[in-house]
Amino acid sequence: MSAPDPLDLLSTPIARLDADARLLTCNPAFASWLGVSARRLGGMALGELDAEGDRLADVLARLPAGGESLRVRRGRLQFPGGDERFADLWLAREEDGGLRLEAHPAEEFPGEDPATALPAALSAALKGLAHEVRNPLAGLKGAAQLLARRIDGDEARELVALMESEIDRLATLVERLLNPAPPRAFAAMNIHAALERVRKLAEAEAGWSVKLVRDFDPSLPEFAGDADRLTQALWNLVRNALESGAGTVQLRTRAEHHVLIGDVAHRLAVRVEIVDDGRGVPEELAERIFLPLVSGRPEGSGLGLSLAQQVAREHGGSLGWRSRPGHTVFSLLIPVGEERETSGE
- Alpha helices per DSSP H over the chain: 28-34, 38-41, 46-49, 55-61, 120-150, 154-178, 191-206, 227-243, 304-314
Amino acid at 175: E
Q: At 156, phi and psi to the nearest 5?
A: -65, -40
d(CA 292, CA 136): 25
Sorted by sequence, the CB contacts under 8 Å of residue 328 that are 6+ apart come out as 241, 244, 275, 276, 277, 278, 280, 281, 321, 322
In this prediction, residue 176 has a pLDDT band, given cuts at 50, 70 and 90, of: low
Q: Please compute the mean of the pLDDT values over residues 175-188 and round it to a whole number.
A: 64
Q: What is the mean pLDDT of the chain?
A: 78
Of residues 152 and 249, more confidence is placed in 249
Of residues 278 and 286, more confidence is placed in 278
Of the candidate CATH numbers 3.30.565.10, 3.40.309.10, 3.30.420.40, 3.40.50.970, the domain formed by 187-341 belongs to 3.30.565.10
pLDDT for the residue 130: 63
In this prediction, residue 124 has a pLDDT band, given cuts at 50, 70 and 90, of: low
pLDDT for the residue 111: 39
Least-confidence region, from 75-79, 277-281, 285-289: 285-289
* Widest Cα–Cα separation across the chain: 74
Ordered by start, the domain boundaries in the chain are: 6-116, 120-178, 187-341
Tell me how far CA of residue 45 lies from CA of 25, 88, 206, 345, in angstroms: 12, 19, 49, 23
Q: What is the value of pTM for the model shown?
A: 0.51
d(CA 163, CA 140): 9
Q: How many CB atoms lie within 10 A of CB 34?
A: 24
- Beta 248-261 vs 211-215: how paired, if at all? parallel
- Beta 14-17 vs 211-215: how paired, if at all? unpaired
Q: Is the distance from CB of 90 to CB of 106 less than 8 angstroms?
A: no
pLDDT in tens, 312-325: 988 999 998 888 88
Q: How many CB atoms lie within 10 A of CB 324?
A: 9
Of residues 148 and 340, more confidence is placed in 148
Q: Is the distance from CB of 92 to CB of 99 less than 8 angstroms?
A: yes
d(CA 321, CA 272): 11
d(CA 330, CA 317): 13
The secondary structure of 4-37 as a DSSP string is PPGGGG-SS-EEEE-TTSBEEEE-HHHHHHHTS-
Evaluate if residue 118 carries a pLDDT over 70: no
Sorted by sequence, the CB contacts under 8 Å of residue 188 that are 6+ apart come out as 222, 223, 224
pLDDT for the residue 251: 96
Least-confidence region, from 96-105, 163-172, 243-252: 163-172
Range ranked top by mean pLDDT from 68-77, 272-281, 287-296: 272-281
6-116 classified as CATH 3.20.20.70: no
pLDDT for the residue 209: 82
